[in-house]
Copies of this chain bind each other. A is one copy, B any other.
Amino acid sequence: MPVITLTTDFGLRDGFVGVLKGVILGIAPNARIVDISHAIAPQDIRGGAFVLWRAFPYFPKNSIHLYVVDPGVGTQRRPLASRVGDHYFVGPDNGLLTPILEDAGHPPGPVEFFNLDKPEFWLTNVSNTFHGRDLFAPVAAHLCNGVSLNALGTRVTDPVRLELPRPEKTSHGWRAHIVWIDTFGNLMTDLPAAAVSSRPAARFRICGREIIGLVNSYGSAPAGDLVALVDSQGFIEVAQVNGAAAERLGASVGDLVEVILSE
């Protein structure tokens, strides 16, 4: 029985996540359901995109990833089921899959999209404000039961894409961006470590501070030091040892990181 993962901006207080699981288990009683995050900021499609993109490859093949960050619920935005390589995705057509689709080309993998237009796979009554419960959870459960994407909707080829910032090459090195700040206050950037790995003396300018060189891990420098290092998925990260770099620097998602590679 495939795993169904959940990524939403629902929070854990109101019971909305429990309701998704109740609906899923009513249709697919043996589904394995795993929470990825329910603390995406309200309506933050980019945040959801980042978290799901980082997490999904660690799940087994044929996992079904349900994502509901859905400011357009009840409007004309399409409900979508997608296949990207060995993984399935169910959620609103709002661009949240953009980083996953951009990676899917390297190496090229099969990618398919289906507009969910078959109400027989939804709850009987569909509200205008909670498609996670009424439409996406039932579809994910039916997919888990073995219903094919073709049966659940009509093939489309034009999913919404987000314009995401990318690191830019400069005369001195790179201009990168903070793309996520984690629970520890570590600043995750969009710059692949490969871009600096041959330059051990690279300098990182961020929020008026400069950090020289990369350390191996958090414990490689004294508590309180600001450090740059390679994160667990191969991107440059800025951290404060045993502290919160975000608070220390007043850093926010979107802030620039200037990387100086020249002497």
Contact = CB atoms under 8 A, between A and B. Distances in A.
Contact of A15 (B15, B32, B37): B37
B129 A232 contact: yes
Contact of A25 (B23, B59, B133, B230): B59
Nearest to A8: B183
Contact of A42 (B183, B216, B217): B183
Interface in A34-89: 34-40, 42-43, 51-52, 54-56, 58-60, 63, 71-75, 77
Contact of A37 (B12, B54, B71): B12
A150 interface: no
Interface in A1-48: 3, 5, 7, 9-19, 21-23, 25-26, 29, 32-40, 42-43
Interface core residue of A10, A129, A229 (most chain B CB under 10 Å): A129
A18 B34 contact: yes
Contacts of A218: 71, 73-74, 129
Given A133-B232, A231-B129, A60 B12 contact: no
Number of copies: 3
A8 to B, nearest CB: 10
Contacts of A16: 182-183
Contact of A75 (B63, B220, B230): B220
A55 B12 CA distance: 13
Nearest to A127: B232
A130 interface: yes
Contact of A229 (B5, B128, B133, B237): B128
23 contacts: A12-B12, A12-B38, A13-B39, A13-B183, A14-B51, A14-B180, A15-B55, A22-B55, A23-B58, A25-B32, A26-B58, A26-B60, A29-B32, A42-B183, A43-B242, A71-B218, A74-B216, A74-B220, A77-B219, A127-B232, A129-B229, A130-B232, A134-B232
Interface of A: 3, 5, 7, 9-19, 21-23, 25-26, 29, 32-40, 42-43, 51-52, 54-56, 58-60, 63, 71-75, 77, 127-130, 133-134, 180, 182-185, 216-220, 229-233, 237, 242, 244
